[in-house]
Structure 1
Amino acid sequence: MSAATPVRRPAPPAARTVPELLTWRHGVHPDRVAVEVHGVAALTFAEWESDATAVARSLLRRGIRPGDRVGLVFGPAGWTEYAVAYCGVLRAGAVAVPLSDRLAAGQLDHALTHCAAGALVHGGDTAAPAPAGVPVWTVAELRAERGDEVELPTVRPADLAQILYTSGTTGRPKGVGASHANLTVGAPSHVRRLALAHSERFLHAFAIGTNAGQTMLFNALTAKPTALTLPRFTPLRFARVIETAGVGTLFVVPSVAIELLDSGALRDRDLSGVHLVGSTAAALPPAVAARLAAALPAATIVNYYTSTEAAPAQTTMIYDPARRDAVGRPVGGQLMIAGPDGDPLPVGATGDVWLRAPHPRAYYRDEAANRATFRDGWVRMGDVGRLDADGYLYLTDRHQDVIKSGAFKISSLEVEAALHEHPGITGAAVVGVPHPVLGSAVAAVLVPRPGTAPDELSLAALRGFLADRLADYQLPSRVLLVDELPRNAGGKVLKRHLTSQFDN
């Protein structure tokens, strides 16, 4: 080939399905590592394409049919095998149901029974029990069969691609279905438009089975850098891997950010190569965002606000001390503040937060929940908030977490943000507890920073610290110190587990 001969690149798929997207990336970057588990395994796009096709043919040979649901149970060390299994299920025309290996047996059984799973696939490193009659296979045995004679079905953008079970912070998890079209919204149409181009690797420690974890999987498919993760998260391990050559982007949840900052693991490290830190899954407290900005001065700190139901619609907020409490403006969709009737409210008014994206998701086999959450492509986020004149969103609270105390409605998020400014607090959750006169009172559950004396976080000391930060009716009337806050696999605090810890 002469120097003047143009390099011919495979065109991106006209129809947007996940298998076609993988085929395109394979054609463009066959030898590039797509997913890497640090020190354990790496997966190139060529391997991803070949192995996913082998898994698809094996599933079809074993009786899985288009539209069947297939549970996928993997731990953090199994990200490369999970990526193969996920795309293999979708290439077979079936529906992937990603599930964390940290789920209790009852939670796993609920998900697999609810979606009527036709099979369960896992990595082979952990036991993966399934309901009676549901076959259990490993990726290794599916991949080994090949089965080139099996014809692959046609997969269409409107076909259901995955069911992702919500985190269950307010009750039993619900299955959220997403089509191929939903999952590939915004995927690049040209190799020069791959995201995160400033990085050779992006680092995360998100659990499989969470919406944040799925975002990382699709970043691996659609972004320029390799998706890098750890077989087991600790702050020290994560901090060490940050110094790996080419790590230019970090993705965290607020609890991980706090662990990294409080552990001291980031001190005395060369962090100059990190240019973007993205936080998701929960609102990033302003005080934590400020600490991240100070610890990684070369990085832009970005907070992402979305939900399993609303993705890929989201708001993004580059940390701005002038708008400390804002969670950003919409990207990839539309944003609305609405009243109880669903009609839009004017700028500055407080109401329900709604997001809208093309090809919306829906709850699987739950029409009552669909009617309450989805409307004409809009998704009711379950949060209360307002918009300013520039279109920035400010969250007041989760609907169920707003504390109604006397004549006041108190935002637990606002109180938590103030608590995170205390130098002796490393974790904070605020809940409402019964009060004989006010109806509810503010109660704070705190994780003390190591070395903090208990009297520094006594009720009197805490109220004194908060006096200049909060109104008197927002001040906690109860305080409980704990070693850690209960969290789900996505890092969200399970507040319903905290209220009962206060004696009435």
Structure 2
Amino acid sequence: MDVKQLPGFYAIAAADPGRLAVIDTDGSETTYGELLARVNQVSHGLRARGLGNGDVVAGVLPNGIDAVVMLMATGQVGMYYVPINWHLTEPEISYILSDCDAKVVVVHEPHAKVVPTADVGTGALAEGQPDTAPADRSSGAVMWYTSGTTGFPKGVQRPLPGTEPEAIAPLYAWFFGEVVDLVPGDEVHLVTSPMYHSAPCAHTQFALHFGHTVVITPRFEPVNILELIERHRVTNAMMVPTMFHRMLQLPEEVRTRYDLSSLRQVIHTGAACPVAVKQGIMDWWGPVLYEYYGSTESTIAFSVKPHDWLARPGTVGKPAPMFEAKILDEKGDELPAGEPGMIYVKSGLGTFEYRKDPAKTAASMRGEWYAPGDIGYMDEDGFLFLCDRRTDLIVSGGVNIYPAEIEAALLEHPAVADVAVIGVPDEEWGHNVVALVQPVEGVEAGPELTAGLLEHCAPRIARFKHPRVIEYRDELPRTPTGKLSRSKVRQEYLDAM
């Protein structure tokens, strides 16, 4: 059946119940009809517990069918769904549950002790409930918790649309089509990252609204990803730059073993991607990398398609449809093309607020404009280039130095598996540039490697940007989606001084 004219998951599942919806982490398959039946049962089950429009449901769930069910069940009965990182400690999970006022919590069996009052899986909610559509359907929303750079995490809450899902699905389908060329039809989406993060969660949801088959991985493993792409003829996926770097480190004989010709869109976000890394993947996979820049708060604010990026390597794109952007200096004055400053965006897709924190909401805004916290500049044609996060900026000898630029240069060296560049206080210079390098397995850390890395930097970045100190680490802290925690690296380094 041609699903291109059907407005989203619920309509597609009703019209084409035999369509393959999900291939789970264990290889088990669920059709659209089976998924909709379970989703409807859980929607009824939530209402049977006394929940209504605007109430909050939380899930402490790994990647898998239960996470998908909770996402789609709350999405048709006007509820907020809070996916929680199951790697968090018990106090961290308890804080989020208290802050969001979750009335129902669903957990995976291993986490049952963390939340003794929670439902283990979706079975209890679904049991005895009808599999027909609930009455008075209305769109829910996902409320992701984000900590930004400091402090306790805060829920990013958007007003509920107040309309049934079928009324808003076409708008979002149009938007995704404009920015990353995704369209409804017989496509296959690969989930490579934890679904408690905003981008993987949103892409899973909209893959189903497009009628795509969703293939779910429990975690990112380079060879497994390549195997799944070949086996299921994956056409689109969402990844982050550190994944690309790890795959490029695979031996040539492994990289050429798999047929990746089905790929049409590999969408990446979450962190700046070094030019050499992105170019290396395009050389391998072809011009299939789509990039967007934004945040949990701003959603997709800028986007760039493969050929535009190849014409302007390093850009994260132009403002997405329904978005405006400008670059401001510290006084709030708009800067001309080519001048780095704070990035501000304004969305036509609606507003947000930090749950229970109007002060934090106000502090992140300048009128209708939101600041994601990054420094960048736009060229004459309106393409944005990122420099770094404001909190990671290094000022040495009165000169602004962006750690991401130095990290990108060092990552081009074949001996570097990972790197974090930080600024360390110095009486004379203000800050010194320090590089903490994780060597590739089998490479010996020492003076010879240090000399090689500095020599490698010479033709790539100006001498004043070169690290004054290079130290070596067995591993660097990254989030499950691949974001480097420079603040944690910096604090650990300073504590050890």
TM-score range, shorter chain: 0.7 to 0.9
Matched, 1:306 2:298: no
Report deviation, 1:474: 0.7
- Tell me what 1:214 maps to: 201
How far has the Cα of 1:398 moved from its partner?
Answer: 0.1
* Mapped contact 1:123–1:140 kept (Cα < 8 A): no
- How has the CA–CA distance of structure 1 residues 498 and 234 changed in structure 2, closer, same or farther, with 3 Å as cutoff? same
Moved beyond 6 Å, runs of 4+? 7-11, 148-151
CA distance in structure 1 between the aligned counterparts of 2:99 and 2:58, rounded to whole angstroms: 11
Q: 1:40-69: per-residue Cα shift (whole Å, max 9, x none)?
A: 333332223222221111111122232221
Kindly tell me: are residues 197 and 292 of structure 1, through their superposed partners in 2, closer, same or farther at Cα, counting changes over 3 Å?
Answer: farther
Tell me which of 89, 106, 110 is aligned to 1:104.
Answer: 89
Q: Distance in 2 between matches of 1:443 and 1:369?
A: 32
Structure 2, gaps ≥5 residues long: 163-167
Provide the residue aligned with 2:182 in structure 1. 195
Q: AA paired with 2:217? A: L
8 A Cα contact 1:279 1:302, kept in partner: yes
User: How far has the Cα of 1:120 moved from its partner?
Assistant: 0.5
Correspondence for 2:362: 371
Trace 1:113-262 onto structure 2 (pairs within 5 A). Answer: 113-124=98-109, 126-127=111-112, 129-130=114-115, 135-147=118-130, 152-155=135-138, 161-166=141-146, 168-181=148-161, 184=169, 186-188=171-173, 195-196=182-183, 200-262=187-249
Q: CA deviation at 1:303?
A: 2.3
Q: Is the 8 A contact 2:200 2:238 kept in 1?
A: no
Show the counterpart of 1:16.
Answer: none
Matched, 1:501 2:493: yes
Given that residues 40 and 133 in structure 2 are in contact (C-alpha distance below 8 angstroms), is that contact kept between their aligned partners in structure 1? no
Separation in 2 of the partners of 1:23 and 1:323? 40
Alignment of 1:292 with 2:281, yes or no, is: yes
Q: In the aligned structure 2, how far is the partner of 1:185 from the partner of 1:10?
A: 10
The Cα of 1:229 is off from its aligned counterpart by 1.8
1:482–1:348: structure 2 CA closer, same or farther, 3 Å change rule? same
Pick which of 399-408 and 471-480 moved more: 471-480
Residue aligned with 2:127, SS = helix
User: 2:336 corresponds to which residue?
Assistant: 346
Describe how 1:317-466 pairs up with structure 2 within 5 A.
317-318=305-306, 320-332=309-321, 333-357=323-347, 358-455=349-446, 458-466=449-457
- Tell me, in whole angstroms, the C-alpha distance in 2 between the residues paired with 1:495 and 1:425: 17
Q: Which residue of 1 aligns with 2:262?
A: 273
Amino acid at match of 1:325: G
CA distance, structure 2, for counterparts of residue 250 and residue 9 of structure 1: 20
Specify the code of the residue in structure 1 equivalent to 2:127: A
TM-score scaled by structure 2? 0.88
Change (3 A) 1:270 1:54: same
User: Once the 2 structures are TM-superposed, how far is the Cα of residue 490 of structure 1 from its aligned partner?
Assistant: 2.3
* Residue correspondences, number: 482
State the SS of the aligned residue for 1:85. Answer: helix
- Residue identity matched to 2:241: P
- Residues 124 and 29 of structure 1, relative CA distance in 2, 3 Å threshold: farther
Give the AA of the match of 1:222.
H
Judged with a 3 Å threshold, the aligned counterparts in structure 2 of structure 1 residues 237 and 148 are, in CA distance, closer, same or farther, namely closer
Equivalent position to 1:92, from 64, 68, 77? 77
Distance in 2, Cα, partners of 1:58 & 1:445: 51
Q: Distance in 1 between matches of 2:186 and 2:40?
A: 29
Q: Is residue 177–residue 362 contact of structure 1 (8 Å, CA) maintained in 2?
A: yes
> Contact between 1:29 and 1:45, CA under 8 Å: does it hold in 2?
yes
> Which consecutive residues of structure 1, in runs of 5 or more, have no partner in the other structure?
1-6, 14-20
Question: Structure 1 pair 406/181, CA: closer, same or farther in 2 (3 Å)?
Answer: farther
Structure 2 distance, partners of 1:163, 1:356, is 20
For 1:242-279, what per-residue CA distance to the aligned partner results, in whole angstroms no more than 9, with x for missing partners? 21142122321112222222133423222222233222
Superposition deviation, residue 189 in structure 1: 7.0
Looking at structure 2, the residues matched to 61 and 81 of structure 1 have their Cα atoms a distance apart, in angstroms, of 19
Counterparts of 1:481 and 1:9, CA distance in 2: 53
Equivalent pair of 2:60/2:106 in contact (CA under 8 Å): yes
Q: Is the 8 A contact 1:327 1:392 kept in 2?
A: yes
* Local SS of the residue matching 2:52: coil
| Residue 119 of structure 1, CA deviation | 1.7
Deviation at 1:385, TM superposition (A): 0.6
Q: What's the CA shift for 1:198?
A: 8.5
- Distance in 2 (alpha carbons) for counterparts of 1:186 and 1:150: 22
Query: 1:380, CA displacement in angstroms?
Result: 0.8
d(CA) in 1 for partners of 2:399, 2:35: 55
CA contact (8 A) 1:198 1:248 kept: no
Contact 2:2 2:185 in 1 (8 A): no
Distance 1:328 1:164 in 2: 25
